[in-house]
Structure 1
């Protein structure tokens, strides 16, 4: 997303080189307030140089990194150095991080020395445990809250850890050791599996990995409260990062019940245990993508597709070796994100990405008055455990993000407002935001679309239905339409936001009532000031009542929804 700041200050820019086993990632990010929590990326590039492959001969013998590869690495570093100069990144804020492939290279010292000689940059080699800790922090940066087991699958190794970060918490709890590293990266596993198949020792390899994973889990000493919470929930959430797992996630996305899947970014994508373990379908899809007669899968290179059988073996072993896993959440965060996230203050780490991302584009600095109005339009009282549990879905944080955006598309023409709003979290203003769940992307997009009347062109109707299928309850879909209509009503009274001068124009309150047949009715009371035309306001308020018409319920007249009545009165 575009970072809305008065001026990009060089002291806040960070240049990161993540020198992994399968490729080298270059990025420039800004940690300038107020958006530092989401670590906006200003530039990124990946050099497809495999340091892992460069260390093996055709016969499988371990060899030093060759001069051709080293020259390619140096050239890519020089290009990034020029890019950093163009952006104004200070030399002291450029960091080169190296992991397994560099750490274990036969000629590691010579390799790093060449980079220092030709480019002038020192290479920071992350020890095994530190690599796992930084990777875990990258996962923590990827979501608003996280509680469960974490695995990072690189090219040469994989790390296992646990994390516990509650919503709004400043603390990120993890093992003191950071993580346990095992030599089962995607590229390494592909090589090992090929060798095992050739020698008829796949069973032995499988058992080796199972023992290693079980031992690693025991070493982590997962806190009892985390294990108890997992048992109560029906199993752990397993958070996955790293290229190998992300490739698996993209294949699962292509096999999803919602097809085509409407959200292209992998970060925040969730699948059930059953879906995660559908290895036969995943391998078949990956094999088809390698066939030149078949279309390639989105974001799955031939290299990643070729690694799927090895990842499938690892996935099956994980299911056996780890405690019960209920669901799997894929994360984009890795070494780069973890390194940046680790440098943030505890207070910044506790901020919620969706709220942070929407603040710079809000009409006003303090969204509280708008949020208060939106919340006042929802009846008070607990709903947890109820079939219509709207309170758990439409949290204060979600309402704040929504409030920050209800004026954003005002400058668009009428034929663009609803459709631009619908696409805002997938290809619009929030598309590139780091740290947002897919569920939140769907909710915000649908809320904003409803705020503009859901008047979308036929070309977007299938996309909207796909987003709606990601919403777990049809009751939630009805509340989206209701809150969108309320937001439109509020914005009509406050077209430039709530200020000290116009603060008292509108007051809202909501409660449950009964009609003449004793059927439940959502009663919205609106109190308007004298400078608001009651007749005009009444016409606009009718848009809220329309949401309660049975023909507009989710599923039609016999579907899901509430009757709505709006009572308008003048303030004293």
Structure 2
């Protein structure tokens, strides 16, 4: 029995959550002013999956504004976290560990002591300058929101980093000592003290506002603020990445949060208790930053410094890959019955949708890559499973309306027909959902005709000729047709408002 258990353990150690070997695992230990966090990544390098994520609210910068030092209790708490994280990385056989420290350790008079003690635990601690921190956060946003064009603001415990991103690159950056742990003392000087200080700092840095640009919100306190807004507005999709708010909402949230008691804030499930005390100050800073920079809208990014560090290390060829499609392909290949089937389905249905623009084509392709992820689910709940995967999976590079379109496509593909499930109609326009529903019905037809195999798709063709939807097969392959295939062809044609025809 013991020898069998040993063999099982040996096999288990080689098992990973992606096609890449265990040696591909990477980890970031982020020693921040508020928290110390470990994230272990696995899977596709362009958009790796989070294998493990843990944080400790060490509060290294809690007393920095008063004493200039990391307090003894906070230092011990932070070092215990670092020691645990280093041990876990060894157990997980992480190949590459990058340990970085930011504002609190950078600014504290006893920061060198913290670094020395952390290095004694076997870690090489990289002390990031404010500029490097800003660049890392900006690349994190570019990793999760390709094509981002605006100002990235990363709010931490000890500092606020700003960066201008455009055309996949990071331009002007500035690091300001305006972290949430420093804000109470600044705001205590008077109602306009924070705004005056911010204006002075930005003028000194030579930062010129560009009116109308999006402002990308990074950092735990600002994400918590966005979750509060979701709760207040009854937003139906509890996914913070790429959640958007109008710029004027920042000032409104400042007023609202200041009148909501801490007990009420703690009742919101998505907001941790440790973030509650920072919300009023985080809202106040967001309001003055948005006003000073003349931002056009607010976009939340769940991707920040840690993801940016990984993104910077990638070859340029990998950075250009679409994170949504990379992740959808990995998920589809892991769960599908047959490899490569999603790609074949996408090519097969494409002739019906020549008028899709580039944005629609990538969402349609994502739906095709995920076309077989529900086959293990209970048949009565496959359509709901498709919606859950589309809405709640940790996708990047996808807006809220696009998530809704992906959900509708998978819902229709998995048997939901022409219905609009849940509250998707609050997330995307009727026209967008109608388009996605047609994708789903077309995918469903291809799935039934092919049985998931390449051959039937290779010898058949789907086309629209005027007001007729035509399924074309060679004469010798006509026996692939059946009642189920014709029924799905008829359903698709009816949804398109045209007739159908089978052509041998």
> TM-score per shorter chain, which class?
0.7 to 0.9
Partner of 1:464: 421
Task: Give the conservation status (yes or no) of the 8 Å contact 2:199–2:292.
Answer: yes
Partner of 1:174: 170
Deviation at 1:134, TM superposition (A): 0.9
SS at match of 1:94: strand
1:310 equivalent to 2:281? Answer yes
- TM-score when normalising by structure 2: 0.88
- TM-score when normalising by structure 1: 0.78
Q: CA distance change for structure 1 residues 20 and 435 in 2, over 3 Å: closer, same or farther?
A: farther
Deviation at 1:511, TM superposition (A): 5.3
Deviation at 1:319, TM superposition (A): 3.2
1:373 equivalent to 2:348? Answer yes
Partner of 1:489: 445
5 Å matches for 1:443-458?
443-454=405-416
Which one of the candidate residues 467, 476, 487 is aligned to 1:539?
487
SS at match of 2:390: coil
SS at match of 1:357: helix
5 Å matches for 1:66-465?
66-90=71-95, 93-117=96-120, 119-165=121-167, 172-175=168-171, 179-193=173-187, 195-196=188-189, 201-216=190-205, 218-219=206-207, 235-256=212-233, 259=234, 261-280=235-254, 282-283=256-257, 287-288=260-261, 290-291=262-263, 296-323=267-294, 325-360=295-330, 361-362=332-333, 363-365=338-340, 367-378=342-353, 380-381=354-355, 391=357, 393-395=359-361, 397-427=362-392, 431-454=393-416, 464-465=421-422
1:527 equivalent to 2:486? Answer no
Deviation at 1:44, TM superposition (A): 1.1
SS at match of 2:169: coil
Aligned residues: 482
Further displaced range: 525-534 or 476-485: 525-534
Residues in 2 aligned to 1:537 and 1:204: alpha-carbon distance in whole angstroms: 70
Task: Give the conservation status (yes or no) of the 8 Å contact 1:190–1:307.
Answer: no
Deviation at 1:254, TM superposition (A): 1.4
Aligned alpha-carbon RMSD (Å) = 2.7
Task: Give the conservation status (yes or no) of the 8 Å contact 1:148–1:162.
Answer: yes
Describe the superposition over 1:520-553 as per-residue Cα deviations: whole angstroms up to 9, x where unpaired.
xxx42221332322655322212213425xxxxx
Partner of 1:168: none
Q: CA distance change for structure 1 residues 69 and 243 in 2, over 3 Å: closer, same or farther?
A: same
Q: CA distance change for structure 1 residues 482 and 251 in 2, over 3 Å: closer, same or farther?
A: same
Further displaced range: 438-447 or 94-103: 438-447
Q: CA distance change for structure 1 residues 493 and 129 in 2, over 3 Å: closer, same or farther?
A: same
Deviation at 1:241, TM superposition (A): 0.5
Residues in 1 aligned to 2:256 and 2:129: alpha-carbon distance in whole angstroms: 33
Q: CA distance change for structure 1 residues 276 and 543 in 2, over 3 Å: closer, same or farther?
A: farther
Q: CA distance change for structure 1 residues 310 and 284 in 2, over 3 Å: closer, same or farther?
A: closer
Q: CA distance change for structure 1 residues 191 and 142 in 2, over 3 Å: closer, same or farther?
A: farther
Which one of the candidate residues 35, 41, 47 is aligned to 1:23?
35
SS at match of 1:465: coil
1:568 equivalent to 2:487? Answer no
Describe the superposition over 1:422-465 as per-residue Cα deviations: whole angstroms up to 9, x where unpaired.
111344xxx13444433332221221011122279xxxx9x933
Task: Give the conservation status (yes or no) of the 8 Å contact 2:462–2:469.
Answer: yes
Task: Give the conservation status (yes or no) of the 8 Å contact 1:267–1:435.
Answer: no
Deviation at 1:8, TM superposition (A): 2.6
Describe the superposition over 1:292-318 as per-residue Cα deviations: whole angstroms up to 9, x where unpaired.
6x7612322344332222223222322
SS at match of 2:222: helix
Higher RCO (Cα < 8 Å, 6 or more apart): 1
Residues in 1 aligned to 2:137 and 2:481: alpha-carbon distance in whole angstroms: 57
Structure 2, unaligned stretches of length 5 or more? 1-14
Residues in 1 aligned to 2:93 and 2:33: alpha-carbon distance in whole angstroms: 29
Task: Give the conservation status (yes or no) of the 8 Å contact 1:214–1:321.
Answer: no
Structure 1, unaligned stretches of length 5 or more? 166-171, 382-389, 514-522, 549-562
Describe the superposition over 1:256-314 as per-residue Cα deviations: whole angstroms up to 9, x where unpaired.
3xx2x3333311212222434422564157x24x136x761232234433222222322
Further displaced range: 179-188 or 62-71: 62-71
Structure with the higher helix share, 1 or 2: 2
Q: CA distance change for structure 1 residues 314 and 109 in 2, over 3 Å: closer, same or farther?
A: same
Residues in 2 aligned to 1:393 and 1:350: alpha-carbon distance in whole angstroms: 16
Deviation at 1:48, TM superposition (A): 1.1
Residues in 1 aligned to 2:381 and 2:16: alpha-carbon distance in whole angstroms: 23
